Amino acid sequence: MAFFEFGQSFIFMGKSEGDSVGTALLEVGSTADALSGNSHTFAEAEVVKLVEPLEEYSRMLNSIKLAMQQRASKKSAYLACLVDVEAKTNAFKKIQGVPGKESQAETKEQAVCTAQDAADAAKVEFEKVSERLLTEFELFKNQKAFDIKEIMSNFINLQIEFNRQSEAAWARLVPVIESVVVEDAQYVRDKVQERNADDSAMPSHHYTIGRTGRTATVPIGNPTPQASAVSFGSGYGGSPSENYGDHNDVPMPPPSSPPPVPTSQPPANPFGDNSGGRKQSYAFTDEEGEGGDEGDEEVEEV
């Protein structure tokens, strides 16, 4: 039942997907569904070749236990007869030869003979049961090794065949899954190349920040320059590029030509008219590693 539900889940997922992904999901679901029916077939075979022989083996053991109980019962009956014979024999000997008790002695003697006959019959019955039990037990010991060997061999062969068919069924899906991975990887590579081509073709402005003469590159068309990636020029004493805003943005490629020399007259605020002429405060480290001046510096366009 678990394999069947597993397969149905993949089939439903495959119907909701498209292209090679949906096909792969449908193949996995169909394979799991087929293996579910195969598991049911092998379970029935296990009942025939494993469970039923073990149950028969258990019934045979119960029969042997009953035979041993019968032998013990016959033995107890025989021992009881021997005790009765001994008691009646002692009673007969007490009055044997006593004058005036000849009739009682004759009765006691007859009782001893009757008890002896019963003891002899009980002995014959006990020996018969014991002989039959020993014969059956010897047959059981000789057959036991063969039966257990056959039961275990059948069970192992069933497991080998079931796993062989399962392995073959799953192996048929490997090319299907690999084709999905290759196709999707090629699709992703194509999309990445298209995006890189678009990014390299996008124009950008170079800005000078404050009195330091350091430059920053902001792509044109970005509605929120404060949250875009900014690339600093060689005048910046740190790394060649650094995120200016959110750390989740991808840095834009550096400009193809060196930034122009800043003019004496600064242009309008590059971050938009709605910034209200705000000033940004930056702390830089110059090329000698000493801390620069910290203060209010305007971002000026070159």
Domains of the chain: 2-180 (1.20.1270.60), 204-301 (no CATH)
Mean pLDDT calculated for residue range 69-91: 90
- Dihedral pair phi/psi, residue 213, rounded to 5°: 80, 10
* Whether pLDDT at 91 is above 80: yes
Q: Do 74 and 121 meet the contact criterion of CB atoms below 8 Å apart?
A: no
Question: pLDDT, tens digit, for every residue of 127-139?
Answer: 999 988 888 888 8
Mean pLDDT of the chain, nearest integer:
70
- Its pTM surpasses 0.75: no
240-250 residue pLDDT tens: 444 444 444 44
Read out DSSP for the chain? -HHHHHHHHHHHHHHHS-HHHHHHHHHHHHHHHHHHHHHHHHHHHHIIIIIHHHHHHHHHHHHHHHHHHHHHHHHHHHHHHHHHHHHHHHHHHHHTT-TT-HHHHHHHHHHHHHHHHHHHHHHHHHHHHHHHHHHHHHHHHHHHHHHHHHHHHHHHHHHHHHHHHHHHHHHTTHHHHHHHHHHHHHHHHHHHHHHHHHHHH--EEEEEEGGGTEEEEEETT-S-GGGS-BEE-TTSSS-S-B-SS-TTSPPPPPPSSPPPPPPSS--S-TT-GGG-S--EEE--B-TTS-B---EEE-EEE-
Model confidence over 16-55: pLDDT tens digits? Answer: 676 777 777 878 888 887 888 788 888 888 888 888 888 8
